[in-house]
Chain A
Amino acid sequence: LAKTTQPISMDSYEGQEVNITCSHNNIATNDYITWYQQFPSQGPRFIIQGYKTKVTNEVASLFIPADRKSSTLSLPRVSLSDTAVYYCLVGDAANQGGKLIFGQGTELSVKP
C-alpha cells in the first residue's frame, strides 16, 4: 500500500486559496488518489478523486503531476467552515475489498 505524507498543519485566512500537497512516492499503476475532509466527531467525507493531470469539481481542484508521486488539493477562497482535517489516500479504486490506510492528515485552520 502506498504511504502518504502531508504537512501536519496549515493556517489560512478567509478568502484565500489553500493548497495542500501530499507525497506518495510508491504509488502503483492502478492506484487512484482520493482526498477526504473530516470535521471533529464526524466520519470523513469525500472531496475529490483523480488519477492524473487535473480534476475539478464544485468544491476543489486536484493537481497530479505526470510522475504521480505527489498531488495537490486546492481549495479556492476558503471560509471558516473549511477548518477541518484533510487526508489524502492512495489505493486501487477497482478493488472494492481493498483496504485504504490513512496517513496523518493535514489540519487546516482558517482564520477570519
Chain B
Amino acid sequence: GAVVSQHPSRVICKSGTSVKIECRSLDFQATTMFWYRQFPKQSLMLMATSNEGSKATYEQGVEKDKFLINHASLTLSTLTVTSAHPEDSSFYICSLRGQGHTGELFFGEGSRLTVL
C-alpha cells in the first residue's frame, strides 16, 4: 500500500504568520491528493482536492486565499495556512487514493497546528 508522509507533525506559530505543511507520497506518483481538517471530537472535513500541475479544487466555504495548495510534483503537495489565526488551529491531514480497483484512501500522520 501507499505510504504518505506528512511534515511537520506539530507546529506552533504566532497569529498572523504563515505555516506550510508538506504531504509526500513515498510509494507512487499521485496526480490527486486530498486535504482534510479535523477539529477536536469532530469528523474529518474535506477542504480541497489537490491536482498535480493545476489549481486545487476547494470545497464550499473553504477560502482558497487562506489555504494555499500547491501540487507541483507527483509526490508532493503542500498546504500553506496564510496569516494564521487561533481559529485555524486544527489537525490537518492529507491523503491520496491507492492505485488499483480498491481506491482506498491512504492518510498521512497528520499535522497539529496551534496558533497563539
Contacts and interface: CB of A to CB of B under 8 A. Distances in A.
A103 B99 CA distance: 23
A4 B37 CA distance: 19
Contacts of A98: 97, 103
B45 interface: yes
Interface stretch (A10-18, A20-28, A61-69, A87-95): A87-95
A49 interface: yes
Given A41-B91, A97-B49, A101-B46, A32 B103 contact: yes
Nearest to B110: A43
A102 B46 contact: yes
B102 A41 contact: no
Contacts of B105: 34, 36, 44, 46, 89, 100
Contacts of B81: none
Give chain A's interface residue range (CB within 8 Å of chain B): 20 to 34
A23 to B, nearest CB: 16
A29 interface: no
Interface string A97-112: 1111111110000000
Interface string B1-23: 10010100000000000000000
Nearest to B36: A102
Contacts of B108: 43
Given A34-B104, A96-B99, A44 B109 contact: no
A19 B4 CA distance: 30
Q: Which of A41, A43, A92, A104 has the most CB of B within 10 A?
A: A43
6 contacts: A43-B110, A46-B104, A93-B104, A96-B97, A97-B31, A97-B51
Interface of B: 1, 4, 6, 31-32, 34, 36, 43-46, 49, 51, 91, 93, 95, 97-99, 101-110, 112
